[in-house]
Structure 1
Amino acid sequence: MDDVVQPLLRTRWGARQMVPQGSPGYARLLDAIDQRVTAGRGSAGLAEVLARSGVRYLLVRNDLARGDLLGAWPARVRQALDGSPGVKRVAAFGFQPGGWGDDAVGSRDQPYPAVEVYQVGGAQQVASLVAADGAVRLRGGPEGLLDLADAGVLKGRPVLVGDDASDLGGTSVASDAARLRTRSRSEIRAQIGPTLPAGAEPDASGGLGPDPGDPAWDGARTVAEYAGVKAVTASSSAADPDTPVGLEDPSALPSAAFDGDPATQWTTGGTRGPVGQWLRVDLPARLDPGALQVAFARNDLLGPAPARVAVETERGSREQDVRPVAGTQTLTAPPGPTSWVRLRIVAVAGTPPEGARVGVRELSIPGVTAERYLRLPAVPRQRGGTTSPQVMGRVTPPRSECMRGSVRWVCSPDLARGDEDGPVLRRVFTGRGGTAAVTGRAVVTDPGLADRLTRGHARTRVVASSTWTAEAPAQPRSAVDGDPATTWIAAGGDKRPTLTLSWGRTLKVGEVTVTRPPGVRGAMTVTVLGRHGAVREGLLDGAGRLRFAPMRTDRVTLRFMTSQIPVQVSEVAIPGVPGVPSAPNASGGRAARPFTTSCGTGPDLTLNGRAVQTRVSGTADDVLAGRPVTFRACRDVRLADGDNRVSAGGGRFRVDALTVDPGGALAGAAPGRTEPVTVRSWDAGERRVQVNAQRRSVLVVNENYNAGWEAATENGGRLRPVRLDGWRQGFEVPAGTSGTITLRYAPDTAYRGALFGGLALLALLVPVAVRRPGRGTPPAPGPLPAAPPRAPGTR
């Protein structure tokens, strides 16, 4: 829909609407930006892409109906923009009516101004001149600009997408951003399907269709394939683009049941009920599967769990009961070799309600490993026969379980949403041999590692009996970091959770103060356990304080008892016991401390079956806020001539982006040279700009490319139109060009000619019509005809 603010402004305006406007490339880039902001994922690359696109201000509407945002909470938006260096808030207006609970679990909608304005530093003018040498030729889609910027590739260089202006050359870079997939035409943030295999056709029925396409990049789509099996398919999944909004889960595709991670699962789509749904794997060769190991999801939010299933092969079908357990159980397949195995749901434990679904967390077949890879588009052989740089990433960033609100961090597992890559990023690309540097960005997912990277020399250590989530703002250290915005949250099933604090020296302890979020009310009893069996217990007073007979100890265990579950503790203060470095946005500044780890301590990385050691660089602020840190391989890797399979992440890190840079072609490239131009005049159909091009350049206009625009120099020389970034208007300017360039929209001349010609013809016809003699008085109106007889049975 059009924004209500748009007619109040006298400036150029851009927004992603339900019907793509401008051009496919523009719509795709806006989609990618929206996905990042919705996930709260800011970066320097996001700021750079906005700036090079001529975006000077961002209007943030915090007054929109929350049910229509599909996860784009104001907290996520602000987190993304605040996490993008060069983007800063410059104005705010209005307020949000109503109250809020102020706790760390349910307070997702914290107070914000109704409207905020952010400024993008270094935004380009509407027109500029950029040197044509050093261009990047992107094999992928315009949305790949974000990954290029994050990888430090753009640097102001012109980008030609696909086959645009093919004779201009440029360093070819392969990107996995342009996916072959199906999406809903009625949603922007939801109902986007997973990457399809090569040769598949996006579904175009029932309001579905492919991403907006263009001949320049339609042949450079990234596609899915499997290693270890031929295919993994299912009757439906929650990752399908026709899954109802609110039930979709991009991570719940069929391959999630074979990834070895019990935290992920295949989930059915929910529109046809759970009974009859199936999951199938096509094997690499005929074999006798024998016994299958299966773990079913047991989640009341899905509905009744499977009670009876059938294991089917070419040899027949064997039905069997499912034990009501959350762990792995054994199912048997019909004996004999087969080329495929299918698991079908026969019955569930109870009457399934409308929208009920089932899930399979893991399915394993002896001797079979199924890994899902995404294949990048092949790049024409580079000069000298070297491998082209490869830039890979997650096009739909996962959403974390925690987000930073205006007052405090709020965390809940249902805030999270995964993506189709799952815990491990797997890609396959075409190489030409040689060596390459490997770099990337990764999020620390292991709480213990996050604590080790950020605690510095703090002596105080804290452990808990449980946590609500594995993310840093809700970890036990949040109870001793001195920051009221962070909160340790115990697991929902932990009725008497404990915190154990140790500080390395004996102190006399006779008092403890427990601070909880203001929205968490109700009495709390605290039991204090010290050394040598010392026990104290009491009810916290109105200030959260408990005083007791002193004990000498170097540690205490605090047991909390309250009626409000899950237990939330923002701070525990014991006189004489120091805290740990604070989380982001707290005073003191220690959270921004940089670090670089030793070789072999970074994300797991495997190239063509061989492990590659990595190291990590970042700041404690990045780790505690859940932002990506950078990593690099300790030494250059050797590439194969042909397919190269790379997998990254899992365990302690989630890898969000990966760059393979043969010979340092990207890292060593010089920044682009951008020169300002002088705008002499600028209107809707004609513009004049003054340029002085010492070298071959491109005149860039930060508007959608339109073939109707023409450009000419003072001596009448026509300039060739060039599309940049897959959507921006440009014209090639020869070296030595100086003076005024006139831009004219050619169809406007024909339109105006036709308009004035029509007016002239109308002027000739009017006198004739006025002089035309009358032909008598018009007849009086007659009665209406009778209504037709009513059909039987109507009324």
Structure 2
Amino acid sequence: MRSGAVALGRDRIQTLVLAAVAYLPLLANDMGRVAADTKAYLYLDPGRLLAGAPYMWQPEVAMGTVTHQNIGYLWPVGPFFWLGEAIGLPDWITQRLWLGSVLLAAGLGMRWFLRTLGWRGAALLVSSLSYMLSPYLLNYVDRHSVILLPWAGLPWLMGLTVRALRTPGWRHAAIFGLVTLTVGGVNASSLLLVGIGPVAWLAWCAVEGSAPWRRVVGTAARIGLAFAATGIWWMVGLAIQSRYGLPTLHLTENYKVVSDAATAPELFRGLGYWYFYGQGRLGAWIEPATSYTRWALPLSFALPLLALLAAAIIRFRHRGHALMLIVLGLLVGIGAHPYDGPSPLGRIFRDLTLTDAGLALRSTPRALPLSILGTSMLLGAGAAAMGRWRPRWEQPVAALLCVLVVANLSPLWQGEILGSLVQRPEDVPGYWHEAAAHLDASGDGTRVLELPGSDFAAYRWGNSGDPVLPGLMDRPYVARELIPQGSPASAALLVALDSEVQEGRLDPDGLAPLARLLGVGDIVLRSDLQFERFRTPRPDDLWADLRDAPGFGPAVSFGTPVANVAGPERPLLDQHTLSRPVGSQHPAPAIVLPVLDAQSILRIADPTRSIVLSGDADGLVAAAGEGLLEAGRPVLFSASLLDPVLLASALGSNARLILTDTNRLQGRRWGTIRETTGYTQRWDEEVDRGDLSDQRLDVLPVRPGTLTVARQTGIRVDASGYGNPVTFTAGDRPFHAVDGRLDTAWTVGAFDEVVGEHLTLTLDEPAPIESLTFVQARSQGQNRWITDLRIHLDDQVMDVVLDATSRTPPGQLVHLSGADVRVVVLEVRDTDVGRLDHYAGVTGVGFAEVGVAGVAADETILLPTDLTDLLGYDSGAELAIVLTRQRSDPRDPIRSEPERGMDRTMDLPWARTFELRGEARWSAHADDALLDDPGAPRVRATASLAGDLVSRGRAAFDDDPTTAWQPPIGPQDGQAVTITHPVPRAFRDLTLTYRADGLHSAPSAVTVLVDGVPIGRSTLPGTLRAADDLVTVDLGLPDATGRSLT
């Protein structure tokens, strides 16, 4: 394709334009700041990352791990950043040069491919810019730019395929292999998806007759052999990781998540990748995404439509090839969308994704470079056709198309392409360097454990994506992140420990014993996290829990202790903040807690003094808190004792046997690091295979008696779902609908559709049921109710309208025929809000209680029996039984307790005498009457701050200015506190002291009552902030006598 264009058709000008557009806007974006792209250690210490990349086993990471995709950093990204470090470039400049080089490679590759096809003139620049500046790159440019390498390499691969087909020999096939080696090492699935392009091009050439089949097959064979020869290094790495590493594919996004976003319209404009549409607590995951739902939306559709228009009205040599690539890219990208009703081909692919091999190809939108390449060809062909029709118009039309292409990627020239939420300063704070040097001085015989875990390393000073500490020191390091590393056993133990930290349940007494077991010599408390982003523990609260933990030497602090305050995007003025004691100590940004009597990573233990635990990692954490772990004694799990020799030595009289209520049969999700485990299921309960987010990590062998399970009598309860689709909230479990308590409930569908959800009640035996009583669940801020309910009674069906009486006790009574029934299914048919386009902010629905006339339900938790089954006799070994109530933090009132009490059943085949000990505390849900001091006046409040006993009404009369009665968060009008004395007394000179600390609203007027009779109303100044955070006001009311003051 030729034209007579002059200016825009010159090779040098086109190359300069592509280079300027690729580099200059990126260099002008957020100068001095580094985006959290790919891997933090490329910037912190690329030499160390390169040194470790060839090794599949890395003992210094996560207590030893088989790496995932790490070998790909050997080329080209690792050497690129190493070179930048070697010549002294600032990290941010090296990053911008890397990103610009990826874009330029894509643009130059497109230009070279089209020149291979015979194109000349301004059309080359139009097509090259169109490909280089596709919105597709927004999905990855500031987080996973290495995934853009296959996109950048595709046009080079296409050009090499064309040349290999034209000329015999191995030259172009060999170069093809080298290109795939360069662009495919980190993410093989992306390479395979764009690799469809060269294969399809060859096939199309054979079908249309432009090349004989024999030549096509020979070309494909040469290219295939070159591809295999140059890719063997990462292929072997993937094979090793898949066999010996964690099942990472199953622990990250499932195909349904990908499929739901892969709609044809979105893919058509170069988008459609699920991450592009995600929203976090601080904003969009990909910040430029908001532009493409607003003013940029028309243009993003106009350009591909213009390309199709060009294909419809002009003819050129490779029009069929371009259209084939567009269709193929869209078909592959769409895959099995919609997931629940795909096309016949989509159904085949959906079923394929249930296998490991198919799941590896789940990110089907990464085939979009095929469509983008075809669309870019059509746009360029349109410009060339205009030049042939009206030669004088070619330059203006080509320039206009280039402007539109640049405008379509508006975040690039608006300075927003690198999101502010994924950036950090060029320099890491000095206190982290100081902490790293301190830790390195202790040698590498022990590990460093960093707490708390975090989904990603978002610090108050910036987001690095990965924790910075491993990139600054040489000690072995372990910390919990969203995607687990290590072995199944080590990952489970780390998750168990960190879950206690995240949920506010950590027993500080168990931390040092667990650290010794893990070979940890120092624990680092990172108190500079952006805690509101991933709901990690508040630094002040966690430091209060850990600073006096036994088993540690004096804490070593780095950095100046300052208040870590949530940002204005999400200030988190909540129960955690308001319940914090006045004057609580702020921790330093980094604190090192040295473990006393630390155990080295490599050590020996006495096999005759084993600690054998029936349970799992959660049981081990619980046992550590009770002082049952000892250095020098190996810990074995009874479920894994399959070797008779090991069994005999482990269960001798010198052993310590620990029976726990862990290793529960329960679901597990990995989309966050909080609320990841489901409720304890029955042994006969069917797992919902349709819930692809439930991925249970196989840690211990499953044999009869190894699991803790639920046993339900009277009524067995099942449900289509519970809680919400993102996390597991065991407090919303199905059995709570029949447990006889109105303060628990089964709920389902939080921020999701609920029509079709159902609760199934199965009676032990058929029984006559005269009626059902329904009390709907009422969670905090309840804004949706079930209105239409379908009741299935075995084979009979009846529809019921639930009215307002079902929303409060005693509930709505529904009369039945009284016939014998075995199975009752309650199906949600509609709610008062109807069907919505989206359900953000909409609460779930369910039942606090379903009363089945004449039938009562009961549930107990059965402990594992494998330990006593293995032993068969009483060896005289020490035996401890550790039971733990599943609970949630009461300061999170939107969460319900999984267990309000404990009901356990265990089987001990021999007689033993036990010493009973445990921990008990006042329930945060306790009624004020239970908290009264018998010798003191009675105090009652209309309501108090959830989860904090110190904020109850009696704090208003305790003469302690550091405590206060705090009503619940929300409207304060009408809140009241009353003190009642045994006998009448005089109330004189009444004053009121309230907090004016900037965290509380200020009262503007109060009414005072004595014995329920108003004695006056006082107007207050409403001061929100005072010097000492307190304001005392003389109410100026007359004296009064009575028993109670309100």
**After TM superposition, is the score higher than 0.5?**
yes
Aligned 8 A contact 1:136 1:172 in 2: yes
2:753 is paired with a residue whose SS is coil
Pair 1:193–1:482, CA change in 2 (3 A): same
Deviation at residue 436 of structure 1 after TM alignment: 4.0
* Partner AA of 1:265 in structure 2: A
1:304 is paired with a residue whose SS is coil
Deviation at residue 382 of structure 1 after TM alignment: 5.0
For residues 213-292 of structure 1, the aligned pairs below 5 Å read: 213-215=698-700, 221-229=706-714, 231-238=716-723, 243-245=725-727, 248-270=728-750, 273-292=753-772
1:383 to 840, 860, 873: 873
Pair 1:315–1:523, CA change in 2 (3 A): closer
Q: Say if 2:677 is the partner of 1:188.
A: no
Aligned 8 A contact 1:281 1:341 in 2: yes
| Matching residue of 1:308 | 788
Output the CA distance in 2 between the equivalents of 1:171 and 1:148: 11
Output the CA distance in 1 between the equivalents of 2:476 and 2:589: 19
Pair 1:234–1:214, CA change in 2 (3 A): closer
Gaps of 5+ in 2: 1-455, 457-465, 1024-1030
Deviation at residue 267 of structure 1 after TM alignment: 1.0
Aligned 8 A contact 2:943 2:975 in 1: yes
More helix by share: 2
Q: Say if 2:811 is the partner of 1:323.
A: no
Output the CA distance in 2 between the equivalents of 1:210 and 1:532: 58
Pair 1:136–1:454, CA change in 2 (3 A): farther
For residues 141-156 of structure 1, the aligned pairs below 5 Å read: 141-156=616-631
* Partner AA of 1:305 in structure 2: W
Q: Say if 2:644 is the partner of 1:159.
A: no
Aligned 8 A contact 2:885 2:901 in 1: no
Deviation at residue 252 of structure 1 after TM alignment: 0.6
Farther-moved stretch of structure 1 (98-107 vs 79-88): 98-107
Output the CA distance in 1 between the equivalents of 2:498 and 2:1042: 50
The CA deviation string for residues 211-245 of structure 1, in whole angstroms up to 9 with x for no partner, is: 43345676664243333236211122117xxx125
Aligned 8 A contact 1:39 1:399 in 2: yes
Deviation at residue 307 of structure 1 after TM alignment: 1.4
Farther-moved stretch of structure 1 (434-443 vs 341-350): 434-443
Output the CA distance in 2 between the equivalents of 1:106 and 1:173: 35
Deviation at residue 291 of structure 1 after TM alignment: 0.4
Q: Say if 2:859 is the partner of 1:372.
A: yes
TM-score when normalising by structure 2 = 0.47
Q: Say if 2:514 is the partner of 1:29.
A: no
Aligned 8 A contact 1:51 1:120 in 2: no
| Matching residue of 1:514 | 993
Pair 1:305–1:49, CA change in 2 (3 A): same
Deviation at residue 332 of structure 1 after TM alignment: 2.7
More strand by share: 1
Gaps of 5+ in 1: 402-411, 559-795
Output the CA distance in 1 between the equivalents of 2:738 and 2:1037: 56
Aligned 8 A contact 2:575 2:946 in 1: no
2:744 is paired with a residue whose SS is coil
Q: Say if 2:992 is the partner of 1:535.
A: no
* Partner AA of 2:492 in structure 1: R
2:503 to 39, 51, 55: 39
| Matching residue of 1:443 | 921
1:46 is paired with a residue whose SS is helix
Deviation at residue 139 of structure 1 after TM alignment: 1.8
Deviation at residue 144 of structure 1 after TM alignment: 1.4
**Larger of the two Rg values belongs to structure:** 2
Aligned residue pairs total 539
Farther-moved stretch of structure 1 (342-351 vs 43-52): 43-52
* Partner AA of 1:167 in structure 2: A
Pair 1:315–1:194, CA change in 2 (3 A): same
1:176 to 661, 680, 686: 661
Deviation at residue 372 of structure 1 after TM alignment: 3.0
Output the CA distance in 2 between the equivalents of 1:202 and 1:318: 28
Pair 1:143–1:304, CA change in 2 (3 A): closer
For residues 322-721 of structure 1, the aligned pairs below 5 Å read: 322-325=802-805, 326-327=808-809, 328-353=811-836, 354-355=838-839, 356=842, 357-378=844-865, 379=867, 380=869, 381=871, 383-384=873-874, 389=879, 391-394=881-884, 397-401=887-891, 413-414=893-894, 417-420=895-898, 422-432=899-909, 434-437=911-914, 438-445=916-923, 459=936, 461-469=938-946, 471-484=948-961, 486-491=963-968, 492=970, 495-502=973-980, 506=985, 509-519=988-998, 520-530=1000-1010, 535-541=1015-1021, 543-548=1031-1036, 551=1039, 553=1041, 557-558=1045-1046
| Matching residue of 1:667 | none
Output the CA distance in 2 between the equivalents of 1:331 and 1:525: 47
Output the CA distance in 2 between the equivalents of 1:41 and 1:82: 16
* Partner AA of 1:339 in structure 2: R
* Partner AA of 1:293 in structure 2: T
Output the CA distance in 2 between the equivalents of 1:448 and 1:302: 23
Deviation at residue 423 of structure 1 after TM alignment: 1.0
1:548 is paired with a residue whose SS is coil
Aligned 8 A contact 1:274 1:345 in 2: yes
Output the CA distance in 1 between the equivalents of 2:729 and 2:593: 33
Aligned 8 A contact 2:612 2:658 in 1: yes
Deviation at residue 8 of structure 1 after TM alignment: 1.1
| Matching residue of 2:556 | 90
| Matching residue of 2:294 | none
Aligned 8 A contact 2:980 2:1043 in 1: yes
The CA deviation string for residues 174-219 of structure 1, in whole angstroms up to 9 with x for no partner, is: 2222123332344332443333332667667775454433456766
Higher RCO (CA 8 Å, separation ≥ 6 residues): 1
Aligned 8 A contact 2:1015 2:1037 in 1: no
Output the CA distance in 2 between the equivalents of 1:529 and 1:300: 30
The CA deviation string for residues 590-636 of structure 1, in whole angstroms up to 9 with x for no partner, is: xxxxxxxxxxxxxxxxxxxxxxxxxxxxxxxxxxxxxxxxxxxxxxx
Output the CA distance in 1 between the equivalents of 2:955 and 2:558: 30
Pair 1:292–1:148, CA change in 2 (3 A): same
Farther-moved stretch of structure 1 (46-55 vs 317-326): 46-55
Aligned 8 A contact 1:74 1:109 in 2: no
* Partner AA of 1:372 in structure 2: E
Farther-moved stretch of structure 1 (365-374 vs 495-504): 495-504
Output the CA distance in 2 between the equivalents of 1:199 and 1:447: 33
TM-score when normalising by structure 1 = 0.60
Aligned 8 A contact 1:310 1:343 in 2: yes
Pair 1:452–1:426, CA change in 2 (3 A): closer
Farther-moved stretch of structure 1 (440-449 vs 333-342): 440-449
1:489 is paired with a residue whose SS is coil
Output the CA distance in 2 between the equivalents of 1:446 and 1:300: 16
Deviation at residue 285 of structure 1 after TM alignment: 0.4
1:487 is paired with a residue whose SS is coil
Deviation at residue 448 of structure 1 after TM alignment: 6.3
| Matching residue of 2:534 | 69
Pair 1:108–1:284, CA change in 2 (3 A): same
2:521 to 40, 48, 56: 56
Deviation at residue 514 of structure 1 after TM alignment: 1.7
* Partner AA of 1:463 in structure 2: R
For residues 771-786 of structure 1, the aligned pairs below 5 Å read: none
Superposition CA RMSD, Å? 3.8
Pair 1:471–1:108, CA change in 2 (3 A): closer
Output the CA distance in 1 between the equivalents of 2:673 and 2:591: 23
